[in-house]
Amino acid sequence: MSADFLYGIEVVINGLMAGVMYALVALGFVLIFKASGIFNFAQGVMALFAALTLVGIMEGQIPFAHLINATFGTEIHHFGWHVPALLAIAMTVGVMVLFAWAVQRFLFRHLVGQEPIILFMATIGLAYFLEGVGDLMWGSDIKTLALGLPQGGARWIEDATAGLGGDDFYGFFIDKLDIVATGVAIVLVTGLILFSQYTKHGRAMRAVADDHQAALSVGISLNFIWILVWSLAGFVALVAGIMWGAKSGVQFSLSLIALKALPVLMLGGFTSIPGAIVGGLIIGVGEKLFEYLIGPMVGGATENWFAYVLALLFLVFRPQGLFGEKIIERV
């Protein structure tokens, strides 16, 4: 088996793993857009805020410590204890649920019936507000997220002489964290699909997505469903924040991962949970293969723009995406 062939396999597998990471962010967009028609620009910042909160709770940091110290002239930053990882994750989920309630209670309940562009602008404002609150609460320095997740590369060797002092080495490497992220994404997507298909609240969420007025007429509470949807999106944001934070550190550039999720949504469709996964895999594999095969011919760095060019082509020829619903208006 040639080294070029094995390297090609490595490129494809790492592309699949990268696509799963993109899809984890795209899932939050899909959940909120499907149930409320709101394109949540703040989803990337939600992943950042969830990761910051998790690190802050685990390390026993005092929220708004910088603000308190500047106001009262103190130098206190920690409570003096560390919280176990599982308990910290549970507490962070509670914070994201509280955030979902606050968003619905103080923002979107006052914007019911407004034009989509108004709701979109509201999520932009929410993104900058949440980023500022995260900075005030936990500080802006880069943080390490230590949850005990496996790090480093897993190596597969395809040369019998490699272990016997042979000069030839064939093999490929896969990031162990990406393998874990793939498993988590499979469990997460399966859970979301089962929840939406076979539970009372999941069916209510689908009913709200189909027709708000019809859902109201049968006694479904829009406020409750929207809080539920934002809570689920917050949980997905936490999962994405954990994986990306463990991979590259919890820093404010983490919020920019939402930009890479946009092409994923355009390919998979804004209303499809499986579409978010398929779109992420296509983007991940496509950009890695394009960089490997075409990048050297055009000077490299194609991963920065390949996904957006592919999304542009989909907007021209199939604007609803692979799994999106085609809207037909009759006059």
Angle between helices 306-317 and 257-268 (to 10 degrees): 30
pLDDT score at 9: 81
pLDDT score at 325: 66
Question: What count of Cα atoms within 13 Å lies in the side-chain half-sphere of residue 196?
Answer: 20
Grouping H, G, I as helix, E, B as strand and the rest as coil, residue 61 is strand
Sequence-distant (6+) residues with CB within 8 A of 22 are 257, 260, 261, 264, 280, 283, 284
Angle between helices 222-248 and 3-36 (to 10 degrees): 150
268 has pLDDT over 50: yes
Most confident residue range from 35-49, 86-100, 134-148: 86-100
d(CA 51, CA 138): 10
Q: What is the pLDDT of residues 213-264, one digit of tens each?
A: 777 788 888 888 889 999 999 999 999 999 888 888 888 878 877 788 889 9
Q: What is the pLDDT of residues 10-55, one digit of tens each?
A: 888 888 888 888 888 888 888 888 877 788 989 989 999 999 999 9
Neighbours of 295 (CB within 10 A): 17
Q: Which pLDDT band, with edges at 50, 70 and 90, does 75 fall under? A: confident
Q: What is the pLDDT of residues 281-304, one digit of tens each?
A: 999 999 999 988 888 887 778 888
pLDDT score at 145: 85
The residue with greater pLDDT, 257 or 118, is 118
pTM: 0.86
Q: Where are the domains of the chain?
A: 3-317
Is the alpha carbon torsion for 132, 138, 140, 143 positive or negative?
negative
d(CA 270, CA 267): 9
164 has pLDDT over 50: no
pLDDT score at 331: 52
Neighbours of 184 (CB within 10 A): 17
pLDDT score at 82: 86
Grouping H, G, I as helix, E, B as strand and the rest as coil, residue 137 is helix
70 has pLDDT over 50: yes
Question: What count of Cα atoms within 13 Å lies in the side-chain half-sphere of residue 110?
Answer: 6
Per-residue DSSP letter, 175: E
d(CA 20, CA 276): 9
